[in-house]
Amino acid sequence: MDDSDPPKPRHRAIPSSRAARLGTFGRLAGGVAGGMLGEGARRLARGERPRMRDLLLTPGNVGRLADRLSHLRGAAMKLGQMISMDAGDMLPAELTAILAQLRSQAYRMPPQQLRSVLDAEWGPDWRRRFARFNATPIAAASIGQVHRAALSDGREVAIKVQYPGIRESIDSDVDNVATLLRVSGVLPRELDLAPLLGEAKRQLHEEADYEREAAQMTRFADWLDGHPDYIVPRPLHELTTARVLAMDFIDGQPIEALGEAPQETRDAAMRDLIALVLRELFEFGAMQTDPNFANYRFQPDTGRLVLLDFGATRDVDPATAEGYRTLLAAGLAGDRDAVREAAQAAGFLGEAAIARHRPLVDRMIDIVVTEMNRPGPFDFGDRGFIEVLREQGMEMAADRSTWHIPPVETLFVQRKISGTALLAARLAARVDVRELVRPYLAGGSA
């Protein structure tokens, strides 16, 4: 291991035992409670009557949440990332910025903890396999961190190392985060989270199995082999275990760096990403459902997108794909009634929401259908209509009795679609989405 690089300032041992992680959750709850009391006292002194939600979602409390979840990593941090990514434009800008810490300012394992993990997975003489192994990670995520290395034959590789104790803590972490949400009053007690929590645990256990991820990576590498627009690393099976994933190192720039690129470059990159989402949904029957921006890189010299991290890959239920096909066809046909029926059939809308807020639902559908059918490329940088949808969505969400959780399969697919749209908005891309979608609506698969 090459320890010549100076340690990053956010090195911090990841709590690996159940007791240590529970203690961190306890300190988090105590800190949040203290912050709520302090903020409540300040507002009462000003003559205000604050709501529980306002006291909880202060910058101080969200900062505490981001820092503690960054330290815990694993399922706890993953759920925080999902909130920050999936809510997209629906969160206040200040809250979005603070939660973004979970994607950009994560703690790394100290070198001694890293050595301990690699010794356990590869044996104490593992250094002999490498000409170089950089102890400073080039990336850190919720479940593992990535190191650049060179094999003894000079081949450049990337090594993803799972944080200790992560797999064993998934179930308790998910339950603890759910408890925090419940006691905070953010979620209605009537909302049945059990199916979603059970599926979240299953998904996270799959993401923590690096041998499974290597198999999913191979599937996508085979599907896209030789494609001029995409490149997928190949795993090194002889170095891959359930907790360590070795793969080809493929260089590229962060996808957000495209924000400074010419308009046509941004448009082409997002066109390729949206086309890939459609292929996953309607052709492959499998989708990488984690839209974290760090999972994409861009090669300026080739124009190709580098696709990374296949832990969240899952097969798409044909019924889910058909539901999206029906919904898209209705939208492009401008049939508002058909859109509402398709949205309800797919589980996006619950019966109670339609019954109690039909005019509001119809106004929102009208906005979406109108935007879908504007001539020319869709301008993701034009977010004016999002403000209107946010206001109307918040108005409907105020009626907590109508809150509704879509089917789990739909949630994971929609997470990828929403995250892709969020990236397109970040890059202010212009893409003729209708032309990409139409081949999948005429007679099934393109």
DSSP at 2: B
pTM: 0.79
The rounded distance, in Å, linking the Cα atoms of 189 and 115 is: 44
Strand pairing of 305-307 and 230-231? parallel
The rounded distance, in Å, linking the Cα atoms of 6 and 136 is: 8
Q: How far is CA 26 from CA 19, 176, 246, 247, 354, in A?
A: 10, 10, 36, 38, 40
Lookup result for tokens 């509001």: 360
Strand partners, 315: 286
Most distant CA atoms of the chain, gap in Å = 71
The rounded distance, in Å, linking the Cα atoms of 108 and 139 is: 9
Lookup result for tokens 């203290």: 34
Looking at residue 394, its pLDDT comes to: 72
Which residue numbers are catalytic?
290
Looking at residue 236, its pLDDT comes to: 98
Number of neighbouring beta carbons within 10 Å of residue 105:
12
Per DSSP, the residues of 294-328 read GGEEE-TTT-PEEE---TTEEEPPHHHHHHHHHHH
DSSP at 253: E
Looking at residue 90, its pLDDT comes to: 43
The rounded distance, in Å, linking the Cα atoms of 149 and 180 is: 40
DSSP at 282: I
Q: What is the mean pLDDT of each run of 10 residues along the chain (446 residues)?
A: 44 51 47 44 46 49 54 50 46 49 62 94 96 92 89 97 86 75 60 76 90 98 97 98 97 93 97 98 96 92 96 95 95 94 89 86 90 91 78 74 80 89 92 95 60
Closest CA to 378 of 427, 416, 306, 445: 427
Strand partners, 156: 150
Number of neighbouring beta carbons within 10 Å of residue 358:
11
Tokens of 265: 């470059």
Residues 6+ apart with CB under 8 A from 102: 66, 69, 70, 77, 80, 81, 84, 142
Lookup result for tokens 């190709």: 304
List the domain boundaries for the chain.
18-105+172-195, 253-446
Tokens of 209: 């199995």
Looking at residue 212, its pLDDT comes to: 97
Closest CA to 163 of 101, 223, 120: 120
Closest CA to 328 of 415, 414, 422, 420: 414
Tokens of 290: 């984690």
Looking at residue 335, its pLDDT comes to: 95
Looking at residue 11, its pLDDT comes to: 55
Question: Residue 44 carries which side chain, given as an amino acid letter?
Answer: L
Closest CA to 348 of 324, 383, 380, 312: 324
Looking at residue 316, its pLDDT comes to: 96
Residues 284-319: b if buried by 16+ CB within 10 A, e if exposed: bebbbbbbbbbbbbbeeeeebbbbbbbbbbbebbee
Cα pseudo-dihedral 271, 443, 331, 383, rounded to 10: 0
Instruction: Classify 226 as helix, strand or coil.
Output: coil
Residue 246: Cβ-neighbour burial (10 angstroms; 0-12, 13-18, 19+)? buried
The number of residues making up the chain comes to 446
Left, alpha or beta for 334 (phi > 0: left; psi -120 to 50: alpha)? left
What ranges make up the beta strands (E) of 104-237? 130-133, 139-140, 144-151, 156-162, 230-231
The rounded distance, in Å, linking the Cα atoms of 141 and 147 is: 12
Looking at residue 233, its pLDDT comes to: 98
Instruction: Classify 244 as helix, strand or coil.
Output: strand
Contact of 436 with 372, CB cutoff 8 Å:
no
Strand partners, 244: 161
Instruction: Classify 234 as helix, strand or coil.
Output: coil
Lookup result for tokens 């979240």: 200
